[in-house]
Amino acid sequence: MRGTALDVVDRMGILPNVREAQVDIRRSTFLDADGSEVASVPAHTVTGSVAGRDVEIRRGDLTQILYRAVRDDMEIVFDDSIETLDQSGHGVDVTFRSGATHTFDLVFGADGVHSPTRRFLFGPEEQYHRYLGYCFAVFDVPNTFGLSSESVVWNSPGRAAALYAVEDDEELHALLNFARPEPPVDVLGDREARQKLFESVYADAGWEVPSLLAALRESDDAFFDTVGQIHLPRWSSGRVALVGDAAYAPSFLTGQGTSIALVGAYMLAASLADGDHVAGFAAYERDTRDFVTQNQALVGKGEAALFPVTRQDLERRNSRLRTLSSLPVDQGRPAHTALTLPPVRLG
Ligand SMILES: Cc1cc2nc3c(=O)[nH]c(=O)nc-3n(C[C@H](O)[C@H](O)[C@H](O)COP(=O)(O)OP(=O)(O)OC[C@H]3O[C@@H](n4cnc5c(N)ncnc54)[C@H](O)[C@@H]3O)c2cc1C
């Protein structure tokens, strides 16, 4: 969480809990195709975070903190989802998969990058999903590498493998990410086909990549997807509004998905304080869109890309990394603080 998002968690009164759950990733080490070290730099210099201010936290810990903050004030239903939405009456008639039906004044879709609520409102995802040229797998591997509070990133042009150690955890998070001009959407849904795809892409890769491919084959909770953003002309329709990745996923290449989801949720709530959803939804978009656009633009290209595709761009990226340690302390990226929250209105 960075910039304006920290103001949101502060106003929610959960900043101390968030800081308590903070993980401290100290170094990022980059490796060449043969596994030799290119550079080892303080982690915040690559993520654009401000050391000592911005917060890195496990997704599950953040979810727990948010859940505890609201669970006594609202009814929370697990293991169910919306089957149909009907706005032809005076509210939104919702049928759930469980068979339950309810009529709500307003509905908010916060259901992620592949949001079914968005599909109900605006149609198939292909129209709004902007493919950014990569696909990836994330999965866990045993920490046989002795890594602690650090990340290691192996690159060859268009291919990356990364390991991420949260403190001294016994499990590491592994990422395989590779460039592909067209999204292999059909392949990603088929376990055997996608394993074959990864094995062919990384066939001649060095370092620990062969053992990561073996771990990927064994993994029963690997997560696969293409890297992309959501760009919608409107974030609401009638009495239904979208928030977070469902409306404006920026992709993990920006590192800002959680921050803009938190800021977007705050702005949506603030815009509805007067109770008029037509004016409220319009204000939400008007006051938040520029912030979202600036953060979505943080996807680097060419040598500034997190995962350079050509040999030339990778070499330039590596040269820049070698000088990072001697650069002044990062002040954070302007996009992270590009929105000032409206004043709190009480009563
Ligand atoms: C590999 C990876 C690394 C990332 N790293 C970072 C990072 O370092 N920093 C960062 O800020 N962001 C990162 N992100 C992005 C970040 O995870 C998202 O931007 C953020 O979680 C968006 O929050 P959200 O609440 O909008 O959506 P999500 O966190 O995706 O939550 C959506 C929720 O909706 C639920 N849901 C989906 N469909 C239904 C349905 N039909 N019915 C009921 N519930 C449903 C899902 O189960 C999920 O719980 C990363 C993403 C990936 C994939």
Residues 122 and 143 in one domain: no
Spatial separation of the C-alpha atoms in residues 126 and 318, rounded to whole Å: 35
Any idea what the CATH number is for the domain that residue 172 is in?
3.30.9.30
Q: What is the pTM of this model?
A: 0.95
Ligand 1 atom closest to 175 (CA)? 1
Same domain, 120 and 43: no
Q: How far apart are the first and last CA of the chain?
A: 29
Q: What is the CATH classification number for the domain harbouring 250?
A: 3.50.50.60
| pLDDT per residue of the chain (347 residues) written in tens, 0 to 9 | 999 999 999 999 999 999 999 998 999 999 999 999 999 998 888 888 888 889 999 999 999 999 999 999 999 999 999 999 999 988 999 999 999 999 999 999 999 999 999 999 999 999 999 999 999 999 999 999 999 999 999 999 999 999 999 998 999 999 999 999 999 988 988 999 999 999 999 999 999 999 999 999 999 999 999 999 999 999 999 999 999 999 999 999 999 999 999 999 999 999 999 889 999 999 999 999 999 999 999 998 887 788 999 999 999 999 999 987 665 556 789 999 999 999 876 54
Q: Of all helices (H) and strands (E), which one includes residue 159?
A: strand 159-165
Contact between 310 and 133 (Cβ < 8 Å): no
Per the domain annotation, does 345 fall within a domain?
no
Domain with 149, as residue range(s), is 23-56+129-228+300-335
138 and 177 part of one domain: yes
Q: Does 341 fall in a domain?
A: no
Please state, in angstroms and rounded to a whole number, the distance separating the CA atoms of residues 331 and 50.
Answer: 6
**Whether the CB of 81 sits within 6 Å of ligand 1:** yes
Question: Looking at the structure, do residues 159 and 193 belong to the same domain, yes or no?
Answer: yes
CA distance 277 to 108: 12
What ligand 1 atom has the least distance to the C-alpha of 256? 11
CA atoms within 13 A on the CB side of 326: 5
Mutate to test the pocket of ligand 1, among 1, 111, 125 (most ligand atoms within 8 A of CB): 111
